Amino acid sequence: DADVTQTPRNRITKTGKRIMLECSQTKGHDRMYWYRQDPGLGLRLIYYSFDVKDINKGEISDGYSVSRQAQAKFSLSLESAIPNQTALYFCATSDPQSGNTIYFGEGSWLTVV
């Protein structure tokens, strides 16, 4: 089983719909992240959480919200999806006690039509 699991892996949704991407990890890391990847723009940080009570905005948080339900779970929501949120979304974890190597999930393809 993967250490960082994202669901769904693929989703097509309509403009204006609410969509949630879920992430769970078995690495026991406190730090979790959500990134989006767009061609030519690399990965950009949406939100990050250093523990269950510590959630912070990243570079591009507008239009997104997150919930850290437990140490192992970090979900990303698009309250009202728009076409320019079509992207590949990645969840990741890291542990500062082990050099802060970051581990990524397999990604969630989201298409907003």
Partner 1 sequence: KQEVTQIPAALSVPEGENLVLNCSFTDSAIYNLQWFRQDPGKGLTSLLLIQSSQREQTSGRLNASLDKSSGRSTLYIAASQPGDSATYLCAVRGGGATNKLIFGTGTLLAVQP
Residues 3-62 that bind partner 1 (CB under 8 A): 4, 33, 35, 40-45, 48, 58
Residue from 69, 106, 111, 113 touching partner 1 (CB under 8 A): that is 106
Q: Report the nearest approach of partner 1 to the CB of residue 67 (Å).
A: 20
Quickly count: other Cβ atoms within 10 Å of residue 84's Cβ.
9
Angstrom distances, CA of residue 64 to CA of 34, 45, 77, 94: 10, 11, 6, 21
Q: Report the nearest approach of partner 1 to the CB of residue 13 (Å).
A: 19
Tokens of 73: 């779970």
Q: What one-letter code names the amino acid at 109? A: W
Task: Name which of 80 and 101 has its Cβ closer to partner 1.
Answer: 101
**How many degrees, rounded to 5, is the angle at CA 94 between CA 89 and CA 95?**
170
Q: Report the nearest approach of partner 1 to the CB of residue 102 (Å).
A: 6
DSSP at 80: S
Residues forming contacts to partner 1 in the complex (CB under 8 A) are 4, 33, 35, 40-45, 48, 58, 88, 90, 92, 99-107, 109
